[in-house]
Amino acid sequence: MNVDERKRMSEDIKKYAINVLGVDVVGIAPIERYVDCPPEFHPKRLLPNPKAVVTMGLVHNPDMVQDSNIYECRSAIDSHAIDTENLRAGYRLARYINRKWGYSSGATGLPVHLPAPFLREGLKDIKEAVKPSVFISIKMGAVLGGLGKRGVNDLLIHPEHGAIVRLVSVVTEAPLAGDPLADFNLLCDECKGMPCITECPTKALSVKKGDPYTMGSIDWQKCFNFIGNEALMLGKPGCLQCAVVCPHSRANK
Ligand code: SF4
Ligand code: SF4
């Protein structure tokens, strides 16, 4: 397949994602961009011979996550709805690539973060519980596919939508053409008070230096304990505070 054919196939797949599946954003990362990817997050975990990762995203409804009267569970309502839509979109895009273009493809979305040990044994050690079940990093797929950068909140920050984008990735053996990497001014270095860190109820976030993939580090044990246990007991499932308070997210209201 020559360069023009690869571009034509890539454009067709992105058009299908936007026009038929209704996602808000889509970006393609060729596999060569995963050169420094830790093996536990590499797309090879999903397919033996991946050539590209297509990452799609839906944006939270700002009225629900920022201003809703039902503050207690605003993020959970929106998150569950979007994760369901994303999973469906991932499944359908993988099937489309396979049927129309003839390449093996498979999708992975956020609910794979709820692995069997998590459900069976609770949250004793989230590292052991999560790692074997997370097939690839969808946030890495988003950054390498040109959808944005990863801030101190360790989330994807999209230049237009900020940190309130939820993601799903499709790993494919189709040799797709990559989108340019995002080029915009991430505000983290000059962010007054870094509200993502200070307003996190569990103090799970910290600045990370020297990592090409992210500016932030998250203690998943603390975060998951809160959103999975304490927040549920308090009647406040979901959190999203680190996404909502980010000035990049506020800018899209
Ligand atoms: S709140 Fe500030 S420091 Fe945190 S991710 Fe957003 S811009 Fe970066
Ligand atoms: S979701 Fe909530 S608890 Fe988890 S890191 Fe973000 S602000 Fe902290």
Q: What is the DSSP string of 225-237?
A: IIIIIIHHHTT--
CA of 224 to the centre of ligand 2 (A): 8
**Burial level of 237, CB count in 10 A (0-12/13-18/19+)?**
middle
Output the residue whose Cα is nearest ligand 1's atom 4: 196
Give the model's pLDDT for residue 226: 74
Give the model's pLDDT for residue 217: 92
Residue 244 φ/ψ, nearest 5 degrees: -70, -40
Separation between Cα atoms, residue 174 and residue 172, nearest integer Å: 5
| Residue list, ligand 2 pocket, CB within 6 Å | 200-202, 204-205, 218, 223, 226-227, 239-242
Which amino acid does the sequence have at 251? A
Ligand nearest to the CA of 246: 1
Give the model's pLDDT for residue 63: 73
Separation between Cα atoms, residue 157 and residue 198, nearest integer Å: 18
Residue 62 φ/ψ, nearest 5 degrees: -55, -30
Q: From the alpha carbon of 249, which atom of ligand 1 is closest?
A: 6
Give the model's pLDDT for residue 115: 46
Give the model's pLDDT for residue 132: 44
Give the Cβ contact number of residue 220 at 10 Å.
Answer: 16
Give the model's pLDDT for residue 140: 92
Give the model's pLDDT for residue 230: 59
**Measured between alpha carbons, how far is residue 127 from residues 67, 82, 172 in Å?**
33, 25, 27
What pTM did the predictor assign?
0.87
Q: From the alpha carbon of 195, which atom of ligand 1 is closest?
A: 1
| R_g of the chain, CA atoms, integer Å | 18
Phi-psi region of 40 (alpha: psi -120 to 50; beta: other; left: phi over 0): alpha
What's the total number of domains in the chain? 1
Q: From the alpha carbon of 187, which atom of ligand 1 is closest?
A: 7
Regions in the chain scoring below 50 on pLDDT: 68-69, 71, 112-117, 119-120, 132
Structural domain range at position 95: 3-250
Give the DSSP per-residue string, 25-54: EEEEEEGGGGTT--GGG-GGGT-SS--EEE
Local structure of 132: helix, strand or coil = helix
**H or E element at residue 165:** strand 165-172
CA of 153 to the centre of ligand 2 (A): 9
**Measured between alpha carbons, how far is residue 97 from residues 171, 223, 228 in Å?**
10, 35, 35
Ligand nearest to the CA of 197: 1
